[in-house]
Amino acid sequence: MEVFVLTHKNSTTLDNCLESLVNLGYEPNVTYGYTKEEHFKNYQICYSSFRDKILPRAMDVDKDLLYVEDDTILNEPIPKMDKDLNFLGYYEIRATGIVGANIVYIKKELFPLLKNEMDKYCSQHLDRYLSKFCERNNIHFGLVEYDWNEVPHISMNTNKVRNHRKVLPQKLVSIV
């Protein structure tokens, strides 16, 4: 499994994320994604960054992929996955799909199909896209009970303080 962390040049949370991964024995690949300044809408950033920057690198490495957003703290090793696509870091399940894609495990066998489909669709919320991708292709995804947290910070996408239930009760990390 290859670990890819999606971040951006002004991240205030990356160091905490990397520390948690290294402490668990992982060697993360840091990927600098797109930003709003590059004329993306805030809901398009993760999808476009994953499609254009992470997925091609993962295909070259040819190992299963663990996608981690840079505001995420992993508190335990990743368990063995039993599905081709697994959400480990998510907030809730709605009728429209999974909300949150902080940690997602994808088996390498899905890469060609995923790349082909992502190239055909317009940029959108990554969590919702992955839910619909599984539905369209009859892929049974897993929802893994996993111990993770989110570092308190001001989101670069929304310019608001994150207040999800997974945010650690610490001093706010602000953008410098």
Confidence (pLDDT) at 27: 97
Confidence (pLDDT) at 173: 44
Q: Report the DSSP pairing between strands 92-94 and 2-7.
A: unpaired
Residues 6+ apart with CB under 8 A from 76: 24, 146, 147
The per-residue pLDDT for range 90-132, each reduced to its tens digit, is 988 899 889 889 999 999 999 999 999 999 999 999 999 999 9
Q: What is the pTM for the complete model shown?
A: 0.89
Residue 168 has pLDDT above 70, yes or no: no
